[in-house]
Amino acid sequence: MNKLVAVTFALVAGISLARADEAKPDAPPVPVDEATKKTTVDINDVRQFAAVFALVKQAYVEPVDDKTLLQSAVKGLLANLDPHSEYLDEKAMTELSEDTTGSYNGLGIEVLTIEGTLRVVAPIDDSPAERGGIKAGDIIVRIDGKPITSENASEASNLLRGKAGSQVTLGVVHEGASAPVEIKLTREPIRVASVRTRWIEPGYVYLRIAQFQEDTGGEVKRKLAKLRDKNQPVKGLVLDLRSNPGGLLTSAVEVSDDFLDSGLIVTTKGRLKQSDLAFNATRGDLIDGAPIVVLADNGTASAAEIVAGALKDNHRALIMGRRTFGKGSVQTVLPLDETHAIKLTTARYYTPSGVSIQAAGIQPDIELGDLKLVARDLPPSYITGERDLPNHLKGTNEKDGADGSKPAATARGEASDDYALSEALNVLKGLALQRKPASAAVEKKG
């Protein structure tokens, strides 16, 4: 048993085991450097593991086979490293592939296992979770009445997915609340629309990125190009990264590059040499240097923070909203065989200024409260000029029944009921007024 477990440890963790009975008695001692000492497992620890293994097999209330126990040991080894490292079986690898393509059956929630609880990073746009009122920062404490504990939290997250049309009841503690509420949701096919664009007002573009998938960079290029086919010059752009849980590092780099002519985007640093990478912008800005305001909140995480950090540190955009989530680590999928792998945290990433945002997040340049605009029961009646007075003398160019102006809410469309977007548009207009016209056209990307 000891030998079996020792070999398993060596294969899974890539460590060396010092075996005194294999050393030649007359051979001189081999010098061992500090790095080797740190990666050598004490034989007593191996014996202890083997003893626990044997006791579980002999005394546990239900019989457990060796394969199940060893897989459980591997899962426990990874789970205790950080919330993002995990063992991926065939089902988990399929789910990971679905996440990067943006299509699966479930509720549309990005969650993390933290201290035995499921914490919501962000609900996906127009998903059952978002429509049911689940928000970034919420804690899921029960699934179909079964409490979530430190022992079952990892497996419980898998219960959020399931057959389309099936129902599930979640016990959810909202941020700032003291007791959970029951939320009944119906699973459905989740097809995450990674990129959405529209005009907020003439000259001002709204770009929403819900998640960074394989083709997000290409989608940004195509949709902005389609908007610009209308021969409308872009005066400014709101990049909405609120409740964006992240995704692929490569897509985040590509999107950052879309709005930068030069400069560092992000660096990654780890223990392995191949983990040390630097990504730089190439020439070409999709909106020719027009000002950008990035909307962020507590659900802006991972790859979304890379984009926010790159645009902020390169003085290309203002960040508005709330402090971001603070996931500043990079995970690499390392295959074990055709159907199994481990997702391992292999590096930290750093913004262009050399700052790690791990656990700290990115502070906005302009902080906003978590507020909503609420329409009045009766619209206020303001007197803003002569034309508002009853029976006023009509102006030369004034037409009957029209005052020639538009209410602010009508002109702004959807921005009128989104407080953060409304504030971003105000700031964007100020930045656009200060901008000097470009003397020459900038080379377009893509």
- Catalytically active residues are 302, 313, 327
CA pair distance 212, 251, nearest whole angstrom: 6
CA pair distance 177, 442, nearest whole angstrom: 51
Strands 292-296 and 317-321: parallel
Question: What contacts 396, CB < 8 A, 6 or more positions away?
Answer: none
308 burial level (CB within 10 Å; 0-12, 13-18, 19+): buried
Whole-number CA gyration radius for the chain: 28
Sequential DSSP letters for 181-226: EEEEEE-EEEE---EEEEEEETTEEEEEE--B-TTHHHHHHHHHHH
CA pair distance 287, 307, nearest whole angstrom: 16
CA distances from 231 to 63, 102, 148, 224 (A): 71, 32, 54, 12
In which element (H, E) is residue 163 found?
none
Question: What contacts 38, CB < 8 A, 6 or more positions away?
Answer: none
CA pair distance 358, 97, nearest whole angstrom: 25
Strand stretches in 210-312, DSSP E: 236-240, 264-270, 277-280, 292-296
CA pair distance 295, 143, nearest whole angstrom: 32
What is the torsional sign of CA 105, 108, 112, 114? negative
Burial of 210-246, coded b for 16+ CB within 10 Å and e otherwise, reads: bbbbbbbbebbbebbeebbeeeeebbbbbbbbbbbbb
